[in-house]
Amino acid sequence: MEKGRRSSTVHVLALPYPTQGHLNPMVQFCWRLVSKRLKATLAITTFVNNTMQPKSGLVQLDTISDGYDEGGFKQAGDTQAYLSRFEVVGSKTLAELIKRHGIAGQPVDCVIYDSFLPWALDVAKQHGIAGASFFTQPCAVNYIYHQAHYGLLTLPVPSLPISIPGLPLLELEDMPSFIYVHGSYPAYFEMVLSQFSNVEKADYVVVNTFYKLEEKVVDAMSKVSPMLTIGPTIPSFYLDKRVQHDKDYGLNLFKLDPSVCLEWLSNKPKRSVVYVSFGSLSNISPEQTEELARGLKGSNLYFLWVVRDSEEAKLPEHFVEETSDKGLVVGWSPQLEVLASEAVGCFFSHCGWNSTIEALSLGVPMVVMPQWTDQTTNAKFVQDVWKVGIRVKMDEKGVVGRKEVENCIREVMEGEKGKEMMENCIKWKVLAREAVCEGGTSDKDIDEFVSKLTKSLC
C-alpha cells in the first residue's frame, strides 16, 4: 500500500449502513473532513447507488455490494439473512475497493465504518489501514448497549428504576425497544450489541452528538471507551455556514419536490404549523393513523403531514379533502427546510435520532411518539433532560388516542409548557451551532481526528 501513497492528502473511505438515517450523518461527516482538506470517498451499496443515482461532488462516491444488488433489504426478505450476507459479500467487495483505490494511486488511509458493520474494521486491519467506528445514534443509547454487551446491565431488567452512570434514572419504557421488550427483533438486537464486539481494536470512535448535549454520559462512557463527539451532522448551511456548498444531505431514497411544501408554508403565520413525520422506516397501524388524523383535525391548527406512499391507504376516507383548508399531506418533504421555516411551531415526530437532532439544532419543540429501537430513549431525553417536548401517552391497547394527540399539540403550540420548551429550544440551537463553529467541542474533536490521522501517516 505504501508504494502508491500520496503524502499530500489523507484519504478516508466511509462506509454507512444503507438506510437514510445512517447515510445522512456519514455524508455530513465526510463533508466536514473534506473542508479540513482530507479526501473522502463514500462507499454506498450498489442497490442504493442505483436507487438514488447520486451525483458526485466534493465527496467522491464508490460502491460495494450487500449481496442484494437488485432489491437491497427487501430482496433478502429476512433481517438475519440480510445482515449475514452483507457481512460476507460486503467484506469481499470492501477489500476489492480498497485494493482498487491503491492501484489507482489513491490508497485508503482510514476506513470510517458505521458501528452496525463491525466486520469492516477487520477488513481495514487486514490491509494495514486505520479504522474509525462511527456511532450514528446518541451516546446515551450507545452506552446502554455497551452495558448490555458487557453484562453490566442484566437482561431482562430485574428491577426498576434502572441506574446507569451518566444517565438519568430510567424506567423500562425509557430503554431502547430491544431491551424494553426483551427478545424482540433478535437479529437487530444482536446487531446493536455487536457494535462493541471489536471496538477496542478501532483506532478512533466517533459519535454523532455534541458534548454539551450529552455531557454526563459522554464523560461516563469516555472512561471505558474514549470517543470524539463530531455532531450535529446536519448540513453546515443550517449551523456554522463554514462548509461551502453544504446545503443538503445530497442522498435521498425518496423522490421529492421541495417546492410543494415550501410554497404551502410560505403564506402561513409564524409558528402556526404542526409538522408531522415519522421517518423513512416507521410503520404506523391503521388504527393509530386514524387517531393521529382525528387529533390533527381536532386541534384546528395548520398541519403538514408526511405520509409515505406505502402508508397512504391507512388514512381515513376523505380526510385529505375534509382538511384541505388546514392541512397538506405529502409523500415526502425537504425536512431541514421545513424545520427551518418560521411557520413551523411544532414537530410531531417518531423521535429518530436524525429528526431529533435536526429539531434541536433548528430550535423546534416536539411532540414525540417513539416506535422502536433508540426512539424510546431519545424521547426520555427530549421530555425530561433537554425539556424541549412532550412524549405522548398510550392507552391500554398501545394506541395514542385522538384527544391525547390534540392535547399534546395544543400544549406545545399554545400552553405555558410550550413557552418553556421554546426557550430551551433556543438554548440548544445556540449550543449546537457553537459545537461546530471554529473552536467548538465538535470542531476540536474533528481537528484532533484529522491531526492524529495525518501524523500517523508521516
Higher pLDDT, 118 or 8: 118
Which pLDDT tens digit goes with each residue over 267-280? 999 999 999 999 87
- How far apart, in Å, are the Cα atoms of 119 and each of 23, 143, 197, 373? 18, 20, 9, 22
Q: What is the mean pLDDT of residues 259-267?
A: 95
**Residue 229 in this model has a pLDDT that exceeds 70:** yes
What's the pLDDT score for residue 67?
96
Distance of CA 358 to the CA centre of its chain: 9
What's the pLDDT score for residue 249?
85
- DSSP letters for 195-209: TTSSGGG-SEEEESS
**Residue 1 in this model has a pLDDT that exceeds 50:** no
Which pLDDT tens digit goes with each residue over 90-147? 999 999 999 999 999 999 999 999 999 999 999 999 999 999 999 999 999 999 999 9
Q: Return the percentage of the chain with pLDDT > 90, whole number.
A: 88
What's the pLDDT score for residue 310?
85
What's the pLDDT score for residue 5?
46
pTM check: above 0.85: yes
Calpha distance 288→162 (Å, rounded): 30
Which pLDDT tens digit goes with each residue over 395-447? 999 999 999 999 999 999 999 999 999 999 999 999 999 999 999 999 999 99
CB neighbours (10 Å) of residue 433?
Answer: 17
C-alpha cell of residue 399: 394506541
CB neighbours (10 Å) of residue 455?
Answer: 8
Calpha distance 107→217 (Å, rounded): 36
What's the pLDDT score for residue 254?
65
Largest CA distance in the chain: 68
pLDDT grade for 456, boundaries at 50, 70 and 90: confident
| Mean pLDDT, rounded, of the chain | 94
Which pLDDT tens digit goes with each residue over 303-351? 999 998 888 999 999 999 999 999 999 998 999 999 999 999 999 999 9
Question: What proportions of the chain, in percent to the nearest 5, are helix, strand and coil?
Answer: 50, 15, 40
What's the pLDDT score for residue 253?
64
Contact predicate 101/108, CB 8 Å = yes
What's the pLDDT score for residue 412?
98
Half-sphere exposure of 2 (CA within 13 A, CB side): 3
**Residue 7 in this model has a pLDDT that exceeds 60:** no
* CB neighbour list of residue 141: distance below 8 Å, 6 or more residues apart: 176, 353, 374, 377, 378
Q: Are strands 130-135 and 39-45 parallel, antiparallel or unpaired?
A: unpaired
Let me know how long the chain is: 458
